[in-house]
A and B are shown apart, each in its own frame.
Chain A
Amino acid sequence: MMSPSILLQDDSAEEVSDILDDFIRSCHLNYAMICDNQGFVLMFESAIWAPEAPPIDSLAALIVSNYAANDAIAKLLGDEDFTESMQKGATSGTFIEKINPRLLLVAIFSDTTSLGRTKMKSSQLIAPLSELVKESDRKDIDITNEWGEINTLMVDKLFEGKL
């Protein structure tokens, strides 16, 4: 079976967070995030000027599935992938860059964002980010024998009084 993978380690988190903050500042983005191809958010950062963030799990699930669908379309058409993935509305939009087969860098922009700069900057960030965020099987979480049972009890607790 596929073993669990650790994608973001404690010791690189701060550096990744700084990179995203700098990305936001220099391009005047509203938010920047890194998510995996399952739709899980590894890191999300907001600008101080950004409106309150939308529900980020929902956002990531939609962005990642949309990206996956586009990828499938490219393959149907005989391409490896679409190199650019941009969605743009009147006041907002997303720009997505693949860090590696498992990870995406997502820039969420506003009407004051510089798109040219965002594209340039995000392509420069791929190399440092792929060094910092990668699969590792370092097992430093403490999984005890009771771990599974406790989690199951927490599932029961979700429905307490409803059954």
Chain B
Amino acid sequence: MSTINAAKREINFKLVYYGPGLSGKTTNLKQIFKHVPAESRGDMVTVDTEEERTLFFDFLPLELGEVGGFKSRLHLYTVPGQVFYNASRRLILRGIDGVVFVADSSPTRLRANAESFRNLRENLAEYKIALEDIPHVIQVNKRDLPDALPMEMIQDVLDPERKIDTFQAVATDFQGVFEPFRAVSQKIFNKFAEVAV
């Protein structure tokens, strides 16, 4: 649920990168950080373990320009993918405006993708939100793996009816990082414009 600060003339949106452990959520935020101009972003905050596994979240604030006297701001978060951090994951979803689901192409992670996707639905349900109610896209990451599963196999598990916009990525090379980010942002903005006018 976007927050409007009329006094500061800002409209704030919260975008969450969700997915199984090690699928590349943190890598997405690091790449976005690296590629946007310094004046459009704040510091990236990371709460992680010594092994660089996300423990609570990563956070990256971005600022767009002004439209109609209001500045739009996007707060990007990742959740910790490891199964046992579910309580933290649920907290990060509070007030979510959109989600990028980062799936892993590795053959050993097919089940983990499915479980994480189901877990996303369950955690959203705690906030009485259905996934279909919020802008969402899928990024299938690690397409560079030599044994990467075919796209159809991953999509059959996550989105058998092919209803969700899906992008291939090699996040470590910034390939396919921008496209899902843009797509979900566009959905968020259009949805906001729809309910706000």
Contact = CB atoms under 8 A, between A and B. Distances in A.
Interface residues of A, number: 50
A91 interface: no
A12 B57 CA distance: 33
A26 B57 CA distance: 35
Nearest to B68: A142
Contacts of B195: 1, 3-4
Contacts of A126: none
A43 B7 contact: yes
Interface of A: 1-10, 12-13, 16, 36-40, 42-43, 55, 57-58, 61-62, 65, 68-69, 72, 139-145, 147-152, 154-159, 162-163
Interface stretch (B104-112, B145-153, B157-165, B182-190): B182-190
B36 A8 contact: no
The interface residues of chain B, by DSSP majority, are classed as mixed
B61 A57 contact: yes
A67 to B, nearest CB: 10
A147 B193 contact: yes
A4 B43 contact: no
Most chain A CB within 10 A, of B5, B75, B186, B191, is at B5
Interface of B: 1-8, 11-12, 14, 35-37, 40, 42-43, 45, 47, 56-57, 59, 61-62, 64-65, 67-70, 72, 75, 77, 87-88, 91-92, 94-95, 129, 133-134, 174, 178, 181-182, 185-186, 189-193, 195-197
